[in-house]
Chain A
Amino acid sequence: MEKKIELLLSSSPFLKQQEDTPAVMRQVIYSLLPAAAGALWFFGISALLIMLTAMLFALLTEGVYNKLTGRANTLRDGSALLTGLLLAMTLPPGIPLWMVALGTFFAIAIGKLIFGGLGSNIFNPALVGRAFLQASFPVTLTTWVAPGNGLSFMQWRSAAFTLPFVREKVAAVSTATPLSMMKFEGQLTPFKALFLGNSAGSLGETSALLLLLGGIYMAARHYINWRIPTALFATVIVTASALHWLNPETYAPFWFHLFSGGLMLGALFMATDPVTSPVTHRGCWLFGAGIGLLVVVIRTFGGLPEGVMYAILLMNGVSPLLNRIAQPPIYGDPAKFKKNEAHNE
């Protein structure tokens, strides 16, 4: 006779695209892998240890926080892991690991969790962690070792295992980044070194090529909004070229700005963080352009050689405002028709 079947009641739609938020996070992490591999190539095991430490402490911080506050397990969404890796990419290869751990803790706890976790933070967590470290340990954060430097993969770039708060002697083989060479010595690094990554800098700042590979993949798969980096690059090109045209002696050409320092990493992986960027396409155009302008201004006229981090953090703060002013008209928006009527009269 009649079989008993249990019918589920829920609300339409019953079709769903398959890619969920953890999958998106995983894809962004994969997109970072070429640049991460580049970091290993240039900086050896130090880079690996920094990345692993950051990722471990990111998970640890969020896991412990969840336990203490009785929240559900959020580690599976992959965002903590991504924040850890992103932060690692912004750090200099010679940084002691305890600083990495501390910075990661700050990034996750203060940058994200106290705002309410994933989706609620105003500022990019990885950059919050990096800003904290920069403010706390300015010397270490601006001490760079040259890539390769004749060391083999297994050789430490610095005293990675220094105990916390022991004043460490700055690594002997320190060098200047292309940006500081430009700023303080007026010396321009050749294009090829910048593009391929054979220049001093943070783990993920060296090879523009490898970052671009990841960025193009993400844009093609719609993991990032291509309008942000496009607007950013365009603004940098225009403003830097204008300055260079005014005075080629003092101001670097646009390609130098584009491919040096954290610009590629910032433009493709940080500014595009959906949580902290605007929710409309118009807003994203303005957001990217704002960052580009600030980067050139800070780099050229500010006291620091690099300005990507502050440019993005500042624009993060502006993005709620951009959401407000850049709402596109909806289908059948009455405003459109008023305009037409006025036109007809």
Chain B
Amino acid sequence: MGLFNTLPTFQRGIHPGDFKDLTRHLPIERMPFSAELTIPLSQHLGAPSKPRVKVGDTVQRGQLIAEPGGFVSIGQHAPVTGTVTAIEPRPHPTGRMVESIIIATDPFSPQTFYNEHPMDWEALSPRELISLIQHGGFVGLGGAAFPTHVKLSVPEGKHARFLIVNGVECEPYLTSDHRVMLEEYDDLFYGIRILQKILDVRQVYIGVENNKEDAIEVLRNHVPDDMACEVIALETKYPQGAEKMLIEAVLHREVPSGKLPIDVEVVVNNSGTITGIGHMFRFGQPLIERVVTVTGPGIKRPANVRVPIGTPLTELLNFCGGITDDTRQILFGGPMMGAPQARLDVPILKGTSGILCLTENEINVREEYPCIRCLRCVDVCPVGLNPSRLGALAKSRDYEHMLDFHVMDCVECGSCSYICPSNIPLVQRFRVAKGLLREQQARNKAS
């Protein structure tokens, strides 16, 4: 390894330390089914799903219980065999009450999954495959929970040339994608074939950061001979898992501002999502469970757990030994972009990649100092924005002016807030500004 032998990566970004040692070596384990599961009809971006069951119905594990409520929407399935006991608003990890299907688990069911009709997917058209993925309930498992079939539906007149598998997992602490790549590469490569067929793409890249050397090696050793697939080891840097950054790192292409990856002939999908799709086409099982990393100094037994969707957070925490007395914050997701929870009776969602329990020691409520324009935020912003300037504009609520400084291109990765020595809540203010600006744009459109 020479001084100039550097791994590919994107420009700027931060090195927050990966904190993955807590769980990186722990094989995925299963947890028991909870007595009651809560399936929110809205656990993805887009329209809520429409229930197809009523209270009192008996449902089988894997049965469709809600169908897509539109194009940007997905199907939902029963994660357990049991009885629908209620369809009503329930607490949701976003902090709102969301219409949900409640299923009481049948304690006597063996909960096996019957694969009655192995799928002959090669006989199906791309359109049919996309529909199966939509009804299979697939969303981006990396955290954004954007319906997968929408990304796979290439608009008329555009064409994909590259499929990038996002195995970056740049959020500190999280190891679920890592473990899935290590243990379930068969399903991953199977899923890649299906996506290749849908997108009519030959060349595939799997981007993995070099803090997952074992996964890189395993994937390289198992790439099928007839697949044009390259596993690319990337320098470990946050936020490389952001779609735009990954495209820059792998292909040295930039997605034009306001455009999508398909505009530069690329489709990016999370490795866990593709693995799930592969699993469905091999064994018929839709998205009814996912791997969640339960970690952080506040959890007694950190683990990578395969969790049925809808499992209550408390049950999962208890399965992992419970939380320590000094736990002060429980996040859905990683420390950079995760969402803190106010209550423990919320369900695990399709987009829940990790549960992070932070204690008193990690909570840093710090004094804010004036911006001294030290440029550190400019040096780290992966999009090349000027967070210092944007922060000043946000503070004086000059949101209109923020548009001139490209605030809408902000990917909300939080690198600026991480690095700021004056502890200014930069990304927090940008989120607020973007929300308000979007509302205003919607109003302008309406009038």
Interface digits, B244-275 against A, CB 8 Å rule (1 contact, 0 not)? Answer: 10001000001111110000000000000000
Tell whether B301 is near chain A: CB-to-CB under 8 Å: no
The reply to whether A14 and B369 contact each other, CB–CB distance below 8 Å, is: no
CB pairs A–B below 8 angstroms (11 shown) = A14-B335, A14-B363, A16-B364, A20-B421, A20-B422, A117-B370, A225-B375, A274-B374, A330-B257, A333-B384, A337-B256
Residues of B within 8 A of A279 (CB): 373, 375, 378, 386, 388-389
In the complex, besides A7-B330, A14-B335, 19 extra interface pairs with C-beta distance below 8 angstroms are: A7-B328, A8-B328, A11-B425, A12-B427, A12-B428, A13-B414, A13-B417, A14-B358, A15-B172, A16-B423, A17-B421, A24-B421, A222-B379, A274-B372, A274-B373, A275-B372, A323-B389, A330-B384, A337-B256
The reply to whether B254 and A336 contact each other, CB–CB distance below 8 Å, is: yes
The reply to whether B362 and A14 contact each other, CB–CB distance below 8 Å, is: yes
The reply to whether B406 and A9 contact each other, CB–CB distance below 8 Å, is: no
Top 9 closest A-B pairs, CB basis?
A: A119-B370, A13-B414, A330-B384, A332-B257, A21-B369, A14-B335, A11-B428, A331-B383, A274-B374
Tell whether A327 is near chain B: CB-to-CB under 8 Å: yes
Residues of B within 8 A of A24 (CB): 372, 374, 421
Within the assembled complex, what's the spacing in Å between the Cα atoms of A6 and B336?
21
Q: Which of A3, A13, A118, A323 contacts B336 (CB 8 A)?
A: A13
The reply to whether A14 and B329 contact each other, CB–CB distance below 8 Å, is: yes
The reply to whether B254 and A13 contact each other, CB–CB distance below 8 Å, is: no
Which residues of A207-256 have CB atoms within 8 Å of chain B's CB atoms? Answer: 222, 225
**Can you name the residue of chain A whose Cβ is closest to the Cβ of B337?**
A12
Q: Which of A12, A14, A120, A280 contacts B386 (CB 8 A)?
A: A280
Interface digits, B336-365 against A, CB 8 Å rule (1 contact, 0 not)? Answer: 111111110000000000001010001111
Within the assembled complex, what's the spacing in Å between the Cα atoms of A21 and B417?
13
Which residues of A1-60 have CB atoms within 8 Å of chain B's CB atoms? Answer: 3, 5-17, 19-24
Which of A3, A20, A331: most chain B CB closer than 10 A?
A331
Q: Nearest Cβ in chain A — how far from B300, in angstroms?
A: 13
Dominant secondary structure at the B interface: loop
Residues of B within 8 A of A336 (CB): 254
Residues of B within 8 A of A337 (CB): 256
The reply to whether B256 and A274 contact each other, CB–CB distance below 8 Å, is: no
Interface digits, B396-435 against A, CB 8 Å rule (1 contact, 0 not)? Answer: 0000000000100100001001110111010110010000
Interface digits, A102-141 against B, CB 8 Å rule (1 contact, 0 not)? Answer: 0000000000000001111000000000000000000000
Q: Nearest Cβ in chain B — how far from A222, in angstroms?
A: 7
Q: Nearest Cβ in chain A — how far from B403, in angstroms?
A: 13
Interface digits, B23-56 against A, CB 8 Å rule (1 contact, 0 not)? Answer: 0000000000000000000000000000000000
Q: Nearest Cβ in chain A — how far from B21, in angstroms?
A: 15
Q: Which of A23, A119, A222 contacts B373 (CB 8 A)?
A: A119
Within the assembled complex, what's the spacing in Å between the Cα atoms of A329 and B336?
25
Residues of B within 8 A of A16 (CB): 364, 366, 417-418, 423
Q: Nearest Cβ in chain A — how far from B425, in angstroms?
A: 7
Tell whether A317 is near chain B: CB-to-CB under 8 Å: no
Residues of A within 8 A of B85 (CB): none
Within the assembled complex, what's the spacing in Å between the Cα atoms of A237 and B425?
42
Tell whether A328 is near chain B: CB-to-CB under 8 Å: yes
Q: Nearest Cβ in chain A — how far from B172, in angstroms?
A: 6
Which residues of A73-120 have CB atoms within 8 Å of chain B's CB atoms? Answer: 77, 79, 117-120
The reply to whether A5 and B327 contact each other, CB–CB distance below 8 Å, is: yes
Tell whether B232 is near chain A: CB-to-CB under 8 Å: no
The reply to whether B244 and A20 contact each other, CB–CB distance below 8 Å, is: no
The size of the chain B interface, using a CB distance under 8 A, is 68
The reply to whether A118 and B369 contact each other, CB–CB distance below 8 Å, is: yes
Q: Nearest Cβ in chain A — how far from B23, in angstroms?
A: 17
The reply to whether B384 and A329 contact each other, CB–CB distance below 8 Å, is: yes
Q: Which of A8, A14, A280, A329 contacts B378 (CB 8 A)?
A: A280
**Can you name the residue of chain A whose Cβ is closest to the Cβ of B328?**
A8
Residues of B within 8 A of A19 (CB): 421
Residues of A within 8 A of B417 (CB): 13, 16
The reply to whether B370 and A7 contact each other, CB–CB distance below 8 Å, is: no
Q: Nearest Cβ in chain B — how far from A213, in angstroms?
A: 22
Tell whether A334 is near chain B: CB-to-CB under 8 Å: yes
The reply to whether B373 and A15 contact each other, CB–CB distance below 8 Å, is: no
The reply to whether B422 and A21 contact each other, CB–CB distance below 8 Å, is: yes
The reply to whether B336 and A15 contact each other, CB–CB distance below 8 Å, is: yes
Which of A20, A275, A336: most chain B CB closer than 10 A?
A20
The reply to whether B384 and A331 contact each other, CB–CB distance below 8 Å, is: yes
Q: Nearest Cβ in chain B — how far from A132, in angstroms?
A: 23
Residues of A within 8 A of B333 (CB): 12
Tell whether B325 is near chain A: CB-to-CB under 8 Å: yes
Residues of A within 8 A of B373 (CB): 119, 274-275, 277, 279
Within the assembled complex, what's the spacing in Å between the Cα atoms of A331 and B408?
12
A6-B328 contact given A12-B336, A330-B383, CB 8 Å threshold:
yes
Within the assembled complex, what's the spacing in Å between the Cα atoms of A336 and B406?
15
Tell whether B382 is near chain A: CB-to-CB under 8 Å: yes
The reply to whether A9 and B342 contact each other, CB–CB distance below 8 Å, is: yes
Residues of A within 8 A of B423 (CB): 16, 20-21
Residues of A within 8 A of B14 (CB): 17
Tell whether B323 is near chain A: CB-to-CB under 8 Å: yes
The reply to whether A8 and B254 contact each other, CB–CB distance below 8 Å, is: no
The reply to whether A21 and B384 contact each other, CB–CB distance below 8 Å, is: no
Residues of B within 8 A of A331 (CB): 11, 244, 248, 254-255, 257, 382-384, 409
Tell whether B145 is near chain A: CB-to-CB under 8 Å: no
Within the assembled complex, what's the spacing in Å between the Cα atoms of A78 and B365?
20
Tell whether B288 is near chain A: CB-to-CB under 8 Å: no
Q: Which of A6, A9, A21 contacts B421 (CB 8 A)?
A: A21
Within the assembled complex, what's the spacing in Å between the Cα atoms of A91 and B254?
52
Residues of B within 8 A of A225 (CB): 375
Within the assembled complex, what's the spacing in Å between the Cα atoms of A16 and B367?
13
**Can you name the residue of chain B whose Cβ is closest to the Cβ of A18?**
B364
Tell whether B223 is near chain A: CB-to-CB under 8 Å: no
Within the assembled complex, what's the spacing in Å between the Cα atoms of A274 and B423?
16
Within the assembled complex, what's the spacing in Å between the Cα atoms of A131 and B202?
68
Q: Which of A17, A118, A277 contacts B418 (CB 8 A)?
A: A17
Tell whether B385 is near chain A: CB-to-CB under 8 Å: yes
Within the assembled complex, what's the spacing in Å between the Cα atoms of A42 and B172?
52
A8-B340 contact given A13-B418, A222-B376, CB 8 Å threshold:
yes
Interface digits, B211-254 against A, CB 8 Å rule (1 contact, 0 not)? Answer: 00000000000000000000000000000000010001000001
Which residues of B85-137 have CB atoms within 8 Å of chain A's CB atoms? Answer: none
